[in-house]
């Protein structure tokens, strides 16, 4: 079975900003628009996550993409503590959903 990953690439914050800002143009705002095109649907997920990371680093500062993602995940762990949510359980659900999306099973 083929894997349908994204066609977008983020190597630095300039790439992140460009992809995150694609959301403002109306591009990639709705996965349903790309029914039958799983790579394009997954591009929507990348744009949404890029917008979240862009917003986060604009508040806390920019280090590297890897460090910024790690820091955001750590802060999400604190958020889950505050909300009474099980972070590990949510990661397991996210991994399941991701697997289904890249294998086009949904």
0.85 surpassed by pTM: yes
Q: How confident is the model at residue 104 (pLDDT cuts 50, 70, 90)?
A: low
Give residue 2's pLDDT. 65
Give residue 70's pLDDT. 98
What the block records as the tokens of 99 is 């697997």
| Residues near 87 by beta carbon (within 8 Å), at least 6 away in sequence | 76, 77, 80, 81
In tens, the pLDDT along 26-77 reads 878 888 999 999 999 999 999 999 999 999 999 999 999 999 999 999 999 9
Sign for the CA dihedral angle at 46, 11, 65, 5 comes to: positive
Residue 39 to residue 104: CA distance in whole angstroms? 9
Q: Where are the domains of the chain?
A: 13-102
């Amino acid at each position: 079975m083929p894997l349908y990953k994204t066609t977008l690439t983020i190597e630095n914050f300039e790439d992140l900003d460009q992809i995150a800002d694609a959301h403002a143009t109306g591009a990639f705002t709705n996965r349903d628009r790309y029914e039958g095109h799983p790579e394009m649907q997954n591009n929507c997920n990348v744009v949404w996550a890029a917008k979240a990371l862009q917003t986060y680093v604009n508040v806390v500062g920019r280090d590297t993409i890897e460090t910024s993602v790690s820091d955001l995940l750590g802060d999400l762990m604190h958020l889950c503590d505050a909300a009474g949510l099980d972070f590990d359980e949510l990661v397991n659900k996210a991994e399941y959903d991701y697997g289904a999306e890249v294998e086009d099973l949904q």
